[in-house]
Structure 1
Amino acid sequence: MISLASFCAVAAILWYFFGWPSVVQLVIVAAVAYILTGKRYRFIYVVIRTAPRDLRALSRLIKLRWRMYKYRKNNLSVADMLGHYASKYPNRVAFIFEDKEWTFSQVEAYSNQVAAALKEKENLKPGDTVSLFMENRPEYVCIWLGLSKIGVITALINHNLRRQPLSHSVNIAASKVLIYGSELEEAVEEMRDSLEPNMKLYCWTGKTESMEPNANTEKSTRKIIHLDPLVSSASSANPSTEEAFKGGFDDCLMYIYTSGTTGLPKAAVITNSRYFFFCTAIFELVGLKGTDRLYTCLPLYHTAGGIGGIGQVLVNGCSMVLRRKFSASSYFKEAKKYNCTVGQYIGEMCRYMLSTPPHPDDSTHSVRTVYGNGLRPQIWSQFVERFNISHVGEFYGATEGNANIANIDDKVGAIGFISRTAPFVYPISIVRADPATGDPIRNDKGLCTVCGPGKYYLNFTLLIIDVFKKGDAAFISGDILVMDEFGYLFFKDRTGDTFRWKGENVSTSEVEAVISNVIGYRDAVAYGVEIRGQEGRAGMVAILDKDKTLDLVAMYEAIQKSLPSYARPIFIRVLTELDMTGTYKLKKVDLQKEGFDPMTIKDNLYYQAASGKYEPINPDVYDQIQNGKIRL
């Protein structure tokens, strides 16, 4: 607050130059400011401040609800929407892939041929499942779309999986057929004898002439069928107009698997209605347009790319530049080349792009909006400034969840908000939670309590029982969030990723973000490890250093300035490679289990010595730490 002396000085200057009316105006403004910022009237200020945001969000939410009402009323499927655009805009570009354009009519025709070929060849029926194992390309979308037209559910298999996780994902879906791309033939060869014995294998090669895949039949008697000639010779008529089956709004469309950061991948059921909701929510809340051209390099087997991206084409009529894989140096170059107006991201991608050398195309493209999830607050401003982005549509949701939120007004670091004025408008709540375990904190009646803004750790709650009244239930996301006084929500950490050290809670995501920044945006994984005889877990960070240029001294000095003492990593593990999921999520479970034992770990290990420097860990040092002779 301004001091009384300063206030009097300003008043005197105004009086001298402008007279008493200016002094009166100053007093009135100061009084109003004091009232609105006072504790008693602060809520009025918050309501006024957030009203434009809340009203804009309400209008977009009404549009979303209205569109969902129409989809349900007309019992539409995603394939129906494709048919609509193919009829209305047959020559509009749906996909651009490796310089080849696919119009909506071509996508419609190819998907119909897929449906006809597989229905005739395998006599597939509504409710059957087919697994799809293929890298990004328009045919990938056409295959699951065509199968949906005959009521077949497609299990979208992560093309990075190999051996047991791969066979598990295919078998658990009870698939009758596995369709795979020829580029993944070796992966199929490794595990095909572990598949269910009656499962048929189809290989897509991109070549319509009759040929046999290069499978090693000496290892297996299972026949592999070449898919392309069957599709090219099949009818392009829409099967839904000729057959009894007509897919509807509530029918199951596909299975999408979780990233597999812990355990084997787990499948989530995606209905047409769920697909509609997710992609329409992004379209309306982020503020996209039907005339937008999207740039997408996210894997199509996950929700972000397969629904949040592809859905903008199939449901909203947008065009898309589709890339096989992500390239940090090519992202904005290609976006410029193809005149893209919108780009998709996952947080780690933004960090990789920032680590590339500056280029003129960084800011001379036509991309006005990027949307996705996981853009860290620590690099948010740097990213939008360097790449000349007008709007960041950061959103929050889960494949298996039942609600989504989005940042609609570019609040740096926010993943969305809850209206302080009318929190009941959108069906989400945040409740008090134990920051270390993520378990909801209950009152004396055994119920959860809604948590207001401030210093509390908050659990984002959208399945727990007895939430706000006995017998009710809600989906719990497993994330710890914090809300400020204006209702903005900020991601803190995943449940279980937070650990305690020296009586304080340490957020691994915050440690990772800070350390990544100070070491030039390299990959860094933070976690807590146990030390015999000490409470809590000591901080440890695994850092990727392929070129062996990591400067531990410089890093330590930077960490001292950026992290509180209890959050500074005690142990450092330097890696030459780092295991990640297909959506660039870092796998830390195995690293955490391995701890800091130099007898089992071949990577270079360091600990923070009494001198403050990071010193190497050898077996003798390890024993001294575990026996308490070296105190940390």
Structure 2
Amino acid sequence: MRTTTAPETVAELIARQWGDHRPGLKHEDGLLTHHRTAQEAAARAALLVDLMPPGAEPHLGVLLDNTPEFPFWLGAAALAGAAVAGINPTRRGPELARDILHTDCRILITERAHLPLLRGLDLPGVRVLVTGTEEYEALLAPYAAAKPGEAALRAPAPDSRLLLYFTSGSTGAPKAAICTQGRLAAAGSALARQFTVTPDDVHYVCMPLFHGNAVIADWLPALVGGAAVALRRRFSASAFLDDVRAYGATYFTYVGRAIQYLLATEPRPDDRTHTLRLGFGTEAGAVDAARFAERFGVRLVEGYGATEGGASVQRTPDTPPGALGRAGAGDDLAVIDPETGTECPPALLAPDGRLLNGSAAIGELVNRGRSLFEGYWRNPDAEADRTRDGWYWTGDLFFRDAAGFLYFAGRTDDRLRVDSENLAAAVIENILARWTDAAAVAVYAVPDEVAGDQVMAALALREGAVFSPEAFAAFLSHQPDLGTKMAPRYVRIVGAMPTTATNKVHRVSLRRAGFRCEDPVWHRSPAGAYTPLDPPTLTTLLATYKAQGRLNLLAR
């Protein structure tokens, strides 16, 4: 790893690329040097300075696949003292417009492929730049000779905002977590040290750059260590190994079910013929991590650290299977019962790893010590909820064994994490409530059989209505703001919605029962059709949970 002084800003990391003519950015259309990538970032920084309206917050939205333009604009924002809001292309309609406007983006960078998402949206005061067009190239041309440090809206500093990354919570609408240049530079440096990143490495970025994982855990440590970055426009399990070989990739990151998708590909005799040495991410699961290492000869390192920076869990060599590790340096992590505010007792684990006292041991992970949380953009209520009582509440469920190792157990209340995407139940409930046959709707998480969560909905029907799986699937297909991860995997038809003494939906009882209940439950196939979750199907499903070591999570 190249070492001079520790970088204090991401702008400094971009400037360090100037004059470095080694391979820096590999993509489907060619190869750029580190110097060229810095040059492209500097040109966009100068353009940004001229386009940003006077007095506006220096924020730009980036609605792109993993094309070279994405890291160019990340670098441009760093050099210009601006901030990038990563816009999620799985969002739809008013919810997509809300993300752009909430973060005060006055400029939106997109590409032709995503223009249909913007049709009909009311985006007052937002200038849209479409990459790859003649107009876009003409705008950039006068700035081709710009150099890092020549143009800035605000002088880059460690406390300069650089990223506004959306995360969902119990309040419904996604919250934009603030990430400063100083914290991001430090995170990149820490990972570069942990994984000994050198200029000989090639970091394969196949997770979406609008998500914190790809930027913080993949792009940034490559910048620090002088490694090349190889971009995949969108994740493809079938193209993964071909890309790795073509780019000479040595490192990649993953989230959610990506590892399961890779394991589902047809085995090949050359599965171990590649340059990869390491994968780093979250939610692979101990079973699949072992299978991945056996098949591909690549070690997976599981980690935990929210984009907000409020808590981190670090893996150590003695971390047992299924655990993520212990508290990160400086953190004072505890598993807290949110009802009582007291620490949960240690988990009792059977010899096969099953959790025996889940109802008592599972609680919310809380950081009672130092927190790097930098707040949410224009959301003081969410900030106050996250930091109540002087502690940082992660919103994630964990349990802790007697030796202090932490195990991830899901999301709190109506938070869901589906295939690496954080969702809020209230948003999905508002969409399902449009279905004319529904008298009441509740949405909640059930554990996925491999990693993260799946969406489950309980529906109480209007008098005289009969549930039609075909009509319900058709209704979902016509909802413009139903994101690609939001359609319920399981639908439970209840005679009456269970409620608490205060007439709130009794979500605890719904989650506790999951899809193993006396009410009719319908199961969604990958094609989108709903079929009854009959006993044979349920038996097969539970066998999958058992094989993945997650059966115990269904009984919490």
TM-score normalised by length of structure 1? 0.62
Residue 297 (structure 1) shift = 1.0
Give the aligned residue type for 1:92. R
Q: 1:495 to 1:548 in 2, by over 3 A?
A: closer
Residue 328 (1) aligns with residue 237 (2):
yes
Give the secondary structure class of the aligned counterpart of 1:312.
helix
Q: 1:131 to 1:260 in 2, by over 3 A?
A: farther
Match of 1:488 in 2: 405
Q: 1:118 to 1:263 in 2, by over 3 A?
A: same
Q: After superposition, where does 1:560-579 map in structure 2 within 5 Å? A: none
Per-residue CA deviations over 1:39-74 (Å, capped at 9, x if unaligned) read xxxxxxxxxxxxxxxxxxxxxxxx9xx99x944xxx
Give the aligned residue type for 1:267. A
Of 136, 153, 158, the match for 1:249: 158
RMSD: 3.9
Q: 1:497 to 1:86 in 2, by over 3 A?
A: same
Question: What is the distance in 2 between the residues matched to 1:396 and 1:290?
Answer: 26
Q: 1:116 to 1:549 in 2, by over 3 A?
A: closer
Question: What is the distance in 1 between the residues matched to 2:415 and 2:50?
Answer: 53
Question: What is the distance in 1 between the residues matched to 2:26 and 2:56?
Answer: 31
Of 390, 393, 396, the match for 1:479: 396
Give the aligned residue type for 1:385. E
Question: What is the distance in 2 between the residues matched to 1:122 and 1:533?
Answer: 50
Of 57, 61, 64, the match for 1:131: 61
Residue 399 (1) aligns with residue 307 (2):
yes
Q: After superposition, where does 1:328-367 map in structure 2 within 5 Å? A: 328-367=237-276
Q: Which runs of 5+ in 1 are unaligned?
A: 1-62, 212-225, 420-424, 434-438, 443-447, 465-470, 500-505, 517-522, 570-632
Q: 1:515 to 1:493 in 2, by over 3 A?
A: closer
Residue 81 (1) aligns with residue 13 (2):
yes
Q: Is the 8 A contact 1:127 1:151 kept in 2?
A: no
Residue 201 (1) aligns with residue 139 (2):
no
Match of 2:518 in 1: none
Q: Is the 8 A contact 2:84 2:163 kept in 1?
A: yes
Q: Is the 8 A contact 1:393 1:408 kept in 2?
A: no
Q: Which runs of 5+ in 2 are unaligned?
A: 349-356, 370-387, 417-443, 455-486, 499-505, 516-520
Q: 1:377 to 1:157 in 2, by over 3 A?
A: same
Per-residue CA deviations over 1:562-587 (Å, capped at 9, x if unaligned) read 66999879xxxxxxxxxxxxxxxxxx
Residue 124 (structure 1) shift = 5.6
Of 365, 368, 382, the match for 1:460: 365
Residue 274 (1) aligns with residue 183 (2):
yes
Give the aligned residue type for 2:527. K
Q: After superposition, where does 1:115-126 map in structure 2 within 5 Å? A: 115-122=45-52
Q: 1:203 to 1:418 in 2, by over 3 A?
A: closer
Give the aligned residue type for 2:446. T
Match of 1:53 in 2: none
Structure with bigger helix share is: 1
Question: What is the distance in 2 between the residues matched to 1:360 and 1:548?
Answer: 36
Residue 370 (structure 1) shift = 0.4
Q: 1:253 to 1:290 in 2, by over 3 A?
A: same
Question: What is the distance in 2 between the residues matched to 1:157 and 1:324?
Answer: 15
Q: Is the 8 A contact 1:275 1:307 kept in 2?
A: yes
Residue 546 (1) aligns with residue 532 (2):
no
Per-residue CA deviations over 1:179-205 (Å, capped at 9, x if unaligned) read 2212212222231xx112x33222212
Give the secondary structure class of the aligned counterpart of 1:295.
strand
Q: 1:414 to 1:284 in 2, by over 3 A?
A: farther
Per-residue CA deviations over 1:496-535 (Å, capped at 9, x if unaligned) read 2699xxxxxx99326566999xxxxxx9946887554979
Residue 157 (1) aligns with residue 87 (2):
yes
Question: What is the distance in 1 between the residues matched to 2:181 and 2:274?
Answer: 35
Give the secondary structure class of the aligned counterpart of 2:80.
coil
Residue 243 (structure 1) shift = 6.4
Question: What is the distance in 2 between the residues matched to 1:377 and 1:526?
Answer: 25
Question: What is the distance in 2 between the residues matched to 1:462 and 1:132?
Answer: 32
Residue 78 (structure 1) shift = 0.6
Match of 2:97 in 1: 167
Question: What is the distance in 1 between the residues matched to 2:304 and 2:553?
Answer: 26
Q: Is the 8 A contact 2:78 2:181 kept in 1?
A: no
Q: After superposition, where does 1:373-384 map in structure 2 within 5 Å? A: 373-384=282-293
Q: 1:145 to 1:565 in 2, by over 3 A?
A: closer
Give the secondary structure class of the aligned counterpart of 1:362.
coil
Question: What is the distance in 2 between the residues matched to 1:567 and 1:115?
Answer: 48
Question: What is the distance in 1 between the residues matched to 2:554 and 2:303?
Answer: 30
Question: What is the distance in 1 between the residues matched to 2:389 and 2:216?
Answer: 30
Residue 374 (structure 1) shift = 0.9
Question: What is the distance in 1 between the residues matched to 2:414 and 2:389?
Answer: 28
Residue 418 (structure 1) shift = 4.0
Give the secondary structure class of the aligned counterpart of 2:208.
coil
**Greater C-alpha Rg:** 1
Per-residue CA deviations over 1:330-371 (Å, capped at 9, x if unaligned) read 112211222211121113011111122112342221212100
Residue 417 (1) aligns with residue 330 (2):
no
Give the aligned residue type for 2:37. V
Match of 2:376 in 1: none
Q: After superposition, where does 1:262-341 map in structure 2 within 5 Å? A: 263-286=172-195, 288-341=197-250
Question: What is the distance in 2 between the residues matched to 1:114 and 1:533?
Answer: 54
Give the aligned residue type for 1:544. S
Question: What is the distance in 1 between the residues matched to 2:413 and 2:405?
Answer: 23
Question: What is the distance in 1 between the residues matched to 2:53 and 2:181?
Answer: 23
Q: Is the 8 A contact 1:203 1:227 kept in 2?
A: yes
Residue 180 (1) aligns with residue 120 (2):
no
Q: 1:190 to 1:247 in 2, by over 3 A?
A: same
Residue 105 (structure 1) shift = 0.5
Match of 2:470 in 1: none
Q: Is the 8 A contact 2:49 2:151 kept in 1?
A: no
Question: What is the distance in 1 between the residues matched to 2:260 and 2:310?
Answer: 29
Give the aligned residue type for 1:150. A
Residue 271 (structure 1) shift = 0.7
Give the secondary structure class of the aligned counterpart of 1:482.
strand
TM-score normalised by length of structure 2? 0.70
Give the secondary structure class of the aligned counterpart of 1:321.
strand
Per-residue CA deviations over 1:454-478 (Å, capped at 9, x if unaligned) read 34224311299xxxxxx96111111
Residue 291 (structure 1) shift = 3.1
Question: What is the distance in 2 between the residues matched to 1:169 and 1:177?
Answer: 13
Question: What is the distance in 1 between the residues matched to 2:40 and 2:451?
Answer: 44
Q: After superposition, where does 1:600-611 map in structure 2 within 5 Å? A: none
Q: Is the 8 A contact 1:286 1:406 kept in 2?
A: no
Per-residue CA deviations over 1:66-107 (Å, capped at 9, x if unaligned) read 99x944xxxx321211111334xx112221110411211101
